[in-house]
Amino acid sequence: MKTQARDWGPSLLFGALVFEPVLFFSQPLLPSQGRLPLGLLWASFVACIGVLILRTGRVSRWRSLLFVVIALGFLIRYKASLLGAGRFFTSEAAQEVPYCHIALSSTVLSHLYQQYLAFMSGAWNSWGPLSLGALWLAVTLALGQGWCSWVCFYGGIDDGMSRILPKPLLKWHRLPGRLRDFPLALLIFLLLISLSTFTPIFCLWLCPLKLTTSFLDPVDSTRKLQLALMIVAGAVFLVGLPLLTGKRAFCGLLCPFGAWQAVFGRINPFRVTLDESTCTDCGLCARSCPIFSIRSSKDSKPEVLDACNRCGQCMDVCPASGIRYTILGRPLPGKGSGWASLWDARILFVFSALVISGTLGSLFVPSAIRALLGAL
């Protein structure tokens, strides 16, 4: 019992450390009606996720719960009409949908060119979108590729679908090397074609997440083709493949922002690093990776690729604790148990991830909770 008490102490302290900044930063973002109780409820939930991660040592299981809740909150607030629940919740037609980071990554060259024109013409009011760039830089410095498994309000969809079945029906453990680079090739193509046409090509033709007529071509025949492609992409990459294989197919193979973060997320100091001295070459990390970001072969140790989004799934399944969060590839000198566990790269990363996801999630989860309570 004493050992358990000592273990609960650091966990509860960590939860309190998460609770305070989430509550503080989320207050301006919460709906005015019921702001304090909603804020306390949401900050408490995020803090509980932190307590469970530290107490159980399992990162991905509890991260996924938070991630799915964020996605559900976003869908209820902004996509209710698309889900056929518009009569219960306010539809997106009556609200301003937040600017999509996926659209930003695939059209950034067009935005930069527009900013250049604004600068040359003296139209300073056109520099507003640059504030989104500052927000992206701050989040990338704090979280890097972790955005795609801790914060993204779309990513929880295929993450949740991939966890519905206890065991995948289809075994899909690895990708051919060239196919792993497909998202980057798609991103480059989208950047160039969007710049040449000044239109968000990915949003108009492929992205099932923006499946709404307000984003489509006014020509009826073109619109029908766009809808068909989006429905196919959603059925295959958001629902079908995640459900059957347990892999996050949309985030790992189709999302241009994932490829964007794989390149620029390197400026973030947190890494997922393999400890070759303890690795037993069992291959569980590579097989369990939901986005195929660990390369494994018979002739060498597993290799963590740049696309890794820090979800922690490989750490949860590794029997030898041979893979861990580090800072620039180096672990912190803490002992990893008791109160010393708070001075650990894993805890520092999880703290950063929970504060950011909790803050941005407050944009829609508390409102979704209020809508659910009102619909009952």
Lowest mean pLDDT of 108-112, 163-167, 171-175, 363-367, name the range: 108-112
- 307-337 pLDDT, tens digit per residue, is 999 999 999 999 988 899 999 888 876 555 5
Q: With 60 as the cut, is the pLDDT of residue 6 above it?
A: no
Asked if residue 39 is part of any domain, the answer here is yes
Say yes or no: 103 and 148 in one domain: yes
Domain extent at residue 3: 1-96+339-376
246, 268, 290: which is the final residue of a domain? Answer: 268
Say yes or no: 218 and 92 in one domain: no
Distance CA 281, CA 307 (A): 21
Say yes or no: 178 and 252 in one domain: yes
Say yes or no: 111 and 136 in one domain: yes
Per the listing, tokens 């390149």 go with 263
Judge residue 84's burial from the number of C-beta atoms within 10 Å of its C-beta, 0-12 exposed, 13-18 middle, 19 or more buried. exposed
Say yes or no: 132 and 228 in one domain: yes
Provide mean pLDDT across the span 211-235: 81
Say yes or no: 35 and 138 in one domain: no
- 75-89 pLDDT, tens digit per residue, is 888 776 555 555 555
Asked if residue 280 is part of any domain, the answer here is no
Q: With 60 as the cut, is the pLDDT of residue 234 above it?
A: yes
pLDDT of residue 3: 37
pLDDT of residue 131: 59
Asked if residue 334 is part of any domain, the answer here is no
234, 253, 268: which is the final residue of a domain? Answer: 268
Say yes or no: 374 and 228 in one domain: no
Number of domains in the chain: 2
Say yes or no: 52 and 116 in one domain: no
Instruction: Place 150 in a pLDDT band, splitting at 50, 70 and 90.
Output: very high
User: How many Cα atoms are found within 13 Å in the side-chain-facing hemisphere of 226?
Assistant: 22
Asked if residue 284 is part of any domain, the answer here is no
Q: With 50 as the cut, is the pLDDT of residue 5 above it?
A: no
Say yes or no: 121 and 200 in one domain: yes
- 250-263 pLDDT, tens digit per residue, is 999 999 999 999 99
- 13-61 pLDDT, tens digit per residue, is 999 999 999 999 998 888 878 889 999 999 999 999 999 999 898 999 9
Say yes or no: 88 and 106 in one domain: no
For the packed helices 35-56 and 365-375, what is the interaxial angle rounded to 10 degrees?
Answer: 110
Say yes or no: 91 and 128 in one domain: no
Asked if residue 87 is part of any domain, the answer here is yes
Asked if residue 293 is part of any domain, the answer here is no
Count of residues in the chain: 376
Average pLDDT, the chain: 84
217, 235, 268: which is the final residue of a domain? Answer: 268
Provide mean pLDDT across the span 291-319: 89
Say yes or no: 83 and 116 in one domain: no
Higher pLDDT, 197 or 334: 197
Helix extents (H) in 98-180: 101-106, 108-121, 130-143, 147-150, 155-162, 177-180
Distance CA 324, CA 211 (A): 38
Per the listing, tokens 């159980």 go with 56
Q: With 60 as the cut, is the pLDDT of residue 128 above it?
A: no
Cβ 265 vs Cβ 257: under 8 Å: no
